[in-house]
Amino acid sequence: MYDYLIVGGGFAGCVIAERIASQLGKKVLIIDRRNHIAGNAHDYYDNNGILIHKYGPHIFHTSSKKVWDYLSNFTEWIPYEHTVMAVVNGKKVPVPFNLNSIEQVFPKKIASKYQALLLEKYGYGLKIPILKLLENKQEDLKVIADFIYQNIFYGYTLKQWGLKPEELDFSVTSRVPVFISHDNRYFQDTYQGIPEKGYTELFNKLIKNKNIEVLLNTDYKINSSSIKFNKLIYTGPIDEYFDYKFGKLPYRSLHFDFKTFKKEWFQEVAQVNYPNDFDYTRITEFKHFHRQKTKATTVAFEFPQEFELGKNEPYYPIQNVSNNDLYNRYKKESEKLKNTIFVGRLAEYKYYNMDQIVGVALMKFDKEIAK
């Protein structure tokens, strides 16, 4: 008999398991239907000895000291600050689109004019969501806003979501604002890094406790009746838990095409985005994260796809008004259940980053489990 059954061995499930096992001394069983732990943060070494992020580039960044300190109990960090370039008219420009990007895409005089206008209107260091920038009435600001919208956001968003930026929740494109700055980093958080020995190793440390057992290749829907437990922590898709009784929540999926090249480097930064060309959105070259010295290099081309049950994985909740409304119906239903906690990107239908889900998991433990 387990005190807790935890469905899902990603950040949400494993952080809560660690807390319950270490702080309450209770018995936990984690099940995951995949053949590995770490959820979408899972990484592994390929045949060339390159550490691959199986589900796309995962860069840890947070401004929460609490989250950083907590995870630092289980890993050392390689300092790493993500830089991303987007190909615009054949040139690679920094993303988030910033004052340096302007210099790359416009002749000097025009670039200076746009830089001065943006600095005057917003001031150095400000971040403006593209949909906000587009609201400008001033003619020149409208021109630069339209340029950025068309060349950075429109094509990428259409590929990534099958929707235009304005058809998604404002928060989605706001993740990558226009940045009135010469800072080329993708994130400005206080703490940034990659686990020194990789994410999977971090997870191995998290769950190394005599009170935690793990069963892989084990689906909750198929196996729950044969497991004896008191309380449930569920981190899978919330619509699936309720057998889709209000309808399916839409998710976006991806296909990763991994290719190895017999050369030292493929591209100058870990991530290059292609908003305007090709069917893929971005190419990730994994060696950059750990600055590995190998003769070959492995990259992933990322092709967005519709999520189809049983065919591919539900990677992204698609945040817009109607989908969020549908989620809220499931949430209400979940609140009626005793001894069951829903937590995680899929269970809460939220576009969480890793640090956010660690923060939420720690908070749920404090407020709802340890209380």
Phi, psi for 224 (deg, rounded to 5): -60, -35
Binding mask 291-330 toward ligand FAD (x if CB under 6 A, else -) reads ------------------------x---------------
**CB-wise, 211 or 281, nearer to ligand UDP?**
281
Pick what 344 binds: ligand FAD, ligand UDP, none; C-beta below 5 to 8 Å, kind-dependent.
ligand FAD
Strands 251-261 and 271-273: unpaired
DSSP β-bridge partners for residue 298 = 260
**Tokens, residue 155:** 């094509």
Instruction: From 29-37, 47-55, 148-156, 338-346, give the range in contact with ligand UDP by CB under 6 A.
Output: 148-156
Name which of 274, 277, 290, 279 is nearest 257 in CA terms.
Answer: 279
Among residues 20, 51, 93, 152, the one that binds ligand UDP under rule CB under 6 A = 152
**CB-wise, 110 or 215, nearer to ligand FAD?**
215
> How near is the Cβ of 157 to ligand UDP at its closest, in Å?
4
> How near is the Cβ of 40 to ligand UDP at its closest, in Å?
11
Q: Residue 252's CB: how many other CB atoms inside 10 A?
A: 18
| Distance in angstroms (rounded) separating the CA atoms of residues 4 and 229 | 6
Q: Let me know: does 47 contact 278? Beta carbons within 8 Å.
A: no
Among residues 344, 359, 362, 365, the one that binds ligand FAD under rule CB under 6 A = 344
Q: Let me know: does 237 contact 318? Beta carbons within 8 Å.
A: no
Pick what 18 binds: ligand UDP, ligand FAD, none; C-beta below 5 to 8 Å, kind-dependent.
none
Window 105 to 144, contacts with ligand FAD (CB under 6 A): none
Binding mask 160-189 toward ligand UDP (x if CB under 6 A, else -) reads x-----------xx-xx-------------
Q: Which DSSP helix (H) or strand (E) runs through 66? A: helix 65-71
**CB-wise, 192 or 297, nearer to ligand FAD?**
192
Q: Let me know: does 152 contact 282? Beta carbons within 8 Å.
A: no
Phi, psi for 301 (deg, rounded to 5): -95, 130
Among residues 235, 273, 297, 298, the one that binds ligand FAD under rule CB under 6 A = 235
Q: Residue 241's CB: how many other CB atoms inside 10 A?
A: 22
Q: Let me know: does 262 contact 299? Beta carbons within 8 Å.
A: no
| Distance in angstroms (rounded) separating the CA atoms of residues 54 and 284 | 11
**Tokens, residue 52:** 């691959």
| Distance in angstroms (rounded) separating the CA atoms of residues 39 and 205 | 15
Pick what 156 binds: ligand FAD, ligand UDP, none; C-beta below 5 to 8 Å, kind-dependent.
ligand UDP
Question: Binding of ligand FAD at residue 352 (CB under 6 A)?
Answer: yes
Q: What is the DSSP letter of 248?
A: P
Q: What SS3 state is found at 150?
A: helix
Name which of 93, 100, 95 is nearest 118 in CA terms.
Answer: 100
Window 29 to 48, contacts with ligand FAD (CB under 6 A): 31-34, 39-41
**CB-wise, 8 or 177, nearer to ligand FAD?**
8
Question: Binding of ligand UDP at residue 319 (CB under 6 A)?
Answer: no
Pick what 275 binds: ligand UDP, ligand FAD, none; C-beta below 5 to 8 Å, kind-dependent.
ligand UDP
Question: Binding of ligand UDP at residue 98 (CB under 6 A)?
Answer: no
Residues lying near ligand UDP in the complex (CB under 6 A): 86, 95, 152-153, 156-157, 160, 172-173, 175-176, 273, 275
Residues lying near ligand FAD in the complex (CB under 6 A): 7-13, 31-34, 39-41, 55-59, 219-221, 235-236, 254, 315, 344-346, 352-355, 357
